[in-house]
Amino acid sequence: PTEIRTSISPSSVVELNTTSALANYATETG
């Protein structure tokens, strides 16, 4: 995982975190 994280740009990580956060929020809201 360390190698993959190094190759991923910070912006991509932010997008993934935002997407997962929105998905979790949508799931909780139902």
Q: Please measure the distance between the N-terminal and C-terminal CA atoms of the chain and give it in whole angstroms.
A: 32
Cα 26 to Cα 4, 12, 18, 29: the distances in Å are 28, 21, 12, 5
Predicted TM-score (pTM) of the model is 0.49
Q: Which pLDDT score is estimated for 13?
A: 81
- In angstroms, the CA 5 to CA 3 distance is 5
Q: Which pLDDT score is estimated for 5?
A: 62
Compute, in degrees rounded to 10, the torsion defined by CA atoms 13, 16, 19, 21: -70
pLDDT digit string, tens, across residues 1-30:
667 666 767 888 888 889 999 999 989 887
